[in-house]
Chain A
Amino acid sequence: MNIVIDECIFLNQFKDKIRYIMVSRPFDKKKIADYIQNGFTPILNFYQLISPFEMEDVLNEINSYKSLDCLFYITDLGLVYRLKQEGLINKIIFDPITLITNSLDAKEYFNEGFRALGISNEILLEDAINIAKDIHGFYQIFGYRLMFHSKRRLVELYGNRLGQKLKDGIYILKEENREDRYPLIQNSYGTMIYRSYLINLLSELPSLNMEFCYLNSSFISSEIYARVIQIYLDALNGKDLSLALEEMNELNLNCSDGFTYQDSIYQKEDF
């Protein structure tokens, strides 16, 4: 199992302990080269659904990194297909976010030759583990999980309606009848909304059979994030799990297990 972490200011602390770093756009070539020199393998995050006129630019961007010792995290099937034709398929972690929910589909996609395949967060952990028996799985085990992606720049549009200029950035949504607060990001790829709580699969770590386990840093301070990484590393290195959990609890994070143990409803009729 490989732990994947985001770039953070405490990265040097984890040199020689962690190999894979998720690197977000805009990419800094020098920084990426430094990561590689320091023994890290960057995973360049191309989280984007790509319309026809954007494809060549994205391909050019990828081509400028393809000779480096890095992987590409890609969410668009068309981009993946182009990169397969260019012989890069084994450098790709393909994550269609919600769509890998059963082992039959997972095997079909994985047979294309990917380095790993993102497993949906919407399914039972038991099912995710079952899927990962036959493939190299990529799975988010800590942090806020994405639950919505729109091409529309919804905050900007709402601002236009109000006659206000609402820029790209982080916002919070609150449904009128609920107390939950959902982080929202608007950027050039549209609008992304995250769950109101963090997922934390520290207790489940011993049973996870994923190739890549991802600790997402979104909306968490660097200090807390560094502590979380260390707790996970300690647990992986054999530290008593109850002690690790105790340390995690001290961080007072708003964690919940999501669909880990409770499956969603299939075709509910009475609404």
Chain B
Amino acid sequence: MVELLAPAGDLEKLKIAVLYGANAVFIGGLRFSLRSRASNFTLDDIEEGAKFAHQHHAKVHVTCNIVMHEKDTNDIIEYLKALEQRGVDAIIASSVTILKLVIKHTKMEAHVSTQLSTLNSDAVNYFKSLGVHRVVLARELSLKEIEEIKKNSDVDLEVFIHGGMCVSYSGRCMLSNNMTNRDANRGGCAHSCRWNYDLYQDDKKINPKDDYFAMSSKDLCAIRFIPELLKLNVASFKIEGRMKSLHYIATVVKTYRTLIDDYEEGKLRDFSYYEEMISKAENRLTSTGFLNAPITTNEQLYDLNLALPSKDFVGIVLEYDKKTKMVTVEQRNYFIPHSTLEVFGAHHQMLISINEIYDEQKNSLDAARHPRQVVTFYSEIELEPYDLLRLN
């Protein structure tokens, strides 16, 4: 069965990803990891995350995927061994040194990062000759090209199915570094490709006065390609976005989990069902990227302000007291008493009506207005920890 691999920027997101259906999560440690704004994990966090994941039959992959400069290369073996001791299952790396050290000194799997822009089976076979277990393919490949690579290689392949797309070949972009001194290959990408540019040819400006040349790509959404990708028998479907919110991760993971399970059980619904489901997560506009190559204007994002609205995520259930039927919730967005909320959980989805809302001192509130405030309300229906609440 294909692995559904989800991102997790912190421990809470890791747990949500696992509970909502991921077979594996990828996280960043404090060293050698891209995505500086993700709250990268300490070794203790990693141990707790791995324990939780393993209890739920999921795996933990740790990204060590920076393109190391000379001064970054100390203590790699020690760090890898520490990760192994904490229960990590696989290391994702772009450095051949790190990949070889993982293979030689640990029992963890070595996965080749997409930073190496692997675009053909010959490159996959090179990595196989090093002993790696899996190659994460470049996002520039069409479905037919992925099929061709699969036909000509026998290493596990991982393909991206959802999330942000670099407009350049991954690992080959120095825009951010040159324009802001923030090194995208070492976790500091300033997304300079998403800025506004004037385009000239022979000193003549091409873009109209009220418009800019934009390079940005729409995010990837492979919902309509999942059945065909499943037929290719690749090892893993990857969701991008270690910096995305908990609500985003829950929604995207559950959508793909449902879609994959429905397909496997022969109960595939119309794709619009899954698209509707995933649209509740906050998101930029999406397209099928290179899967349906060639790229057209439909895959490009020209108006950067066009982000799809999300259905408001207002809280996460911490516990449910079966005796008193009181739900304890950590607030994430404003909501008020006497309203209807959608419960979006790992195992159920429904509407509930709430009446009074109380704070921890049992004072009645006119609104749950403070971020992370712990509030309670009565519910006849039993809710579960990690259920998410949305405005209906």
Task: Name the one of B141, B179, B302 contacting A161, with C-beta atoms under 8 angstroms.
Answer: B302
- 8 Å CB interface, B116-159 against A: 116-126, 129, 138, 140-142, 144-145, 148-149, 152
Question: How far does the alpha carbon of A96 sit from the alpha carbon of B186 in the complex, in Å?
Answer: 16
Of residues 123 to 161 in A, which have CB atoms within 8 Å of B's CB atoms?
Answer: 123-124, 127, 130-131, 146-155, 157-161
In chain A, positions 150-175 with a C-beta closer than 8 Å to chain B are 150-155, 157-162, 164, 166, 169-175
Interface status of A122 (Cβ within 8 A of chain B): yes
Residue with the highest number of chain A CB atoms closer than 10 Å, among B37, B121, B207, B213: B213
Quick check: A101 and B296 within 8 Å, CB to CB? Answer: no
Q: Given the complex of chains A and B, what is the CA–CA distance between A167 and B36 in angstroms?
A: 38
Query: A130 contacts which chain B residues (CB < 8 A)?
Result: 70
B182 & A102 in contact (Cβ 8 Å cutoff): no
Given A171-B201, A172-B199, A174-B200: A266 touches B123 (CB 8 Å cut-off): no
- B171 contacts A by Cβ under 8 Å: yes
Residue B69 lies at the interface, judged by CB distance under 8 Å to chain A: yes
B116 and A77 contact, CB distance less than 8 A = yes
Task: Please list the residues of chain B having a beta carbon within 8 angstroms of any beta carbon in chain A.
Answer: 36-37, 66-70, 72-73, 94-97, 100, 115-126, 129, 138, 140-142, 144-145, 148-149, 152, 167-169, 171-175, 177-179, 181-183, 185-188, 190, 192-193, 195-201, 206-208, 211-215, 217, 290, 295-297, 299-300, 302
Contact A174 B197 (CB under 8 A): yes
Interchain nearest-CB distance for B287 vs A (Å): 12
Which residue on B lies nearest to A259, using beta carbons? B177
Contact A49–B119 (Cβ < 8 Å): yes
Nearest-Cβ distance from residue A171 to partner chain B, whole angstroms = 5
Give CA–CA (A155, B115) in the complex, Å: 24
Question: Would B67 and A99 count as touching, CB distance under 8 A?
Answer: yes
Residues in B with CB closer than 8 Å to A200 are: none
- Shortest CB-to-CB span from A258 to chain B, Å, is 8
Query: A: which residues have CB within 8 A of B?
Result: 49-53, 55, 76-82, 96-99, 101-105, 108-109, 120-124, 127, 130-131, 146-155, 157-162, 164, 166, 169-176, 178, 181, 184, 191, 193, 195, 258-259, 262-269, 271
Contact indicator B96/A78 (Cβ below 8 Å): no
* A162 / chain B contacts, CB cutoff of 8 Å: 206-208, 211
Return the contact of A77 from the options B36, B73, B118 (Cβ within 8 A): B118
CB neighbours of A174 from chain B (8 A): 197-198, 200
Residues of B within 8 A of A96 (CB): 116
Q: Are B120 and A55 in contact (CB under 8 A)?
A: yes
A134: min CB distance to chain B, Å: 12
A262 to B180: give the CA distance in the assembly, Å. Answer: 12
Q: Please determine whether A157 and B295 come into contact, CB atoms closer than 8 angstroms.
A: yes
Q: Indicate if the CB atoms of A267 and B187 lie closer than 8 Å.
A: yes
Complex: how many Å from CA A109 to CA B99?
A: 13
The reply to whether A121 and B174 form a contact with Cβ atoms under 8 Å apart is: yes
Which among A77, A82, A97, A195 has the highest number of chain B CB atoms within 10 Å?
A: A77
Asked, given contacts A52-B149, A271-B190, whether A108 binds B97 with beta carbons under 8 Å apart, the answer is yes
In-complex Cβ contact of A264 among B115, B119, B188 (8 A)? B188
Residues of B within 8 A of A181 (CB): 200
B contact residues around A120 at 8 Å (CB): 67
Kindly state the separation between the CA atoms of A167 and B279 in the bound complex, as whole angstroms.
37
Q: B100 to chain A: which residues have CB within 8 Å?
A: 108
A residues near B295, Cβ cutoff 8 Å: 151-153, 157
Choice from B36, B67, B72, B190 contacting A98 with Cβ under 8 Å: B67
How far, in Å, is A163 (CB) from chain B's closest CB? 11
Given A77-B116, A108-B97, decide whether A264 and B186 contact each other with a Cβ distance below 8 A.
yes
Cβ-defined contact, B213 with A158, below 8 A: yes
Could you tell me the distance in whole angstroms from the C-beta of A141 to the nearest C-beta in chain B? 17
